[in-house]
Amino acid sequence: MTRSFRAEPIEPERLRALFTDALRAPSAGFAQATEFLVLTDPVRRECFWDLVSDAEWRGTAPGAAGLLRAPAIALCLVDPAAYRSRYAADDKSATSSLGSDVADWPVSYPAVDAAFAAMIVLLGAEDAGLGALFFHLQGRERAVLDGLGVPHRFDAIGAVALGERHGERASTSPSRIARRASGDRIHFETFTTSS
């Protein structure tokens, strides 16, 4: 995750390719309900930051300036009603045990599908030599969406900042926690734990 960006714009065709690939992510019932609002215009990005953060943070927080320089911000959106509609269709209602009430599903597939798409953006950014950061909207989702004119049927799972990395490519974890060994996190055949 990159937390400090250079301000140089990203070529529109590079961005379009990233998000076009992301729309090929798995989609429960092939509902295709994930969408992105990509902000590259400086005025729109400033509006986003005004909606999602406090002026004090923007002015004084360590690292804020590096994040605010990101030349692209993409909101990861999902339309839960599209799943209700899809799973009420004849071919799904007859074959799926989920039903059409998304709130009753054991897994929030709208959130899962949007997360899959966001991950494809993150991986695509890495492949394209760009930095990227996925972040939560700090409990301000509706205010941000309303402020940017996103229809009420959409929810946001978060946003992705994109751009060229600024500075050395080092671990950006604020706490500098060591990466856990893969052998402690991948379990074949039985679940084992290290002491």
Q: How do residues 99-109 score in pLDDT, each as one tens digit?
A: 667 777 778 88
Domain boundaries, the chain: 12-169
Whether pLDDT at 195 is above 60: no
Q: What is the mean pLDDT of residues 40-49?
A: 97
Q: For the sheet with 131-135, list strands across it.
A: 34-39, 72-78, 155-163, 131-135
Q: Are 95 and 88 in contact (CB under 8 A)?
A: no
Whether pLDDT at 112 is above 80: yes
Q: What is d(CA 50, CA 73) in angstroms, rounded to the nearest whole number?
A: 13
The token pair that represents 56 in the structure block: 């004090």
Q: What is d(CA 4, CA 169) in angstroms, rounded to the nearest whole number?
A: 10
Query: When comparing pLDDT for 188 and 112, which is higher?
Result: 112
For residue 67, count other CB atoms closer than 10 A to its CB.
22
Torsion (CA) 8, 50, 4, 74 in degrees, nearest 10: -70
The CATH code for residues 12-169 is 3.40.109.10
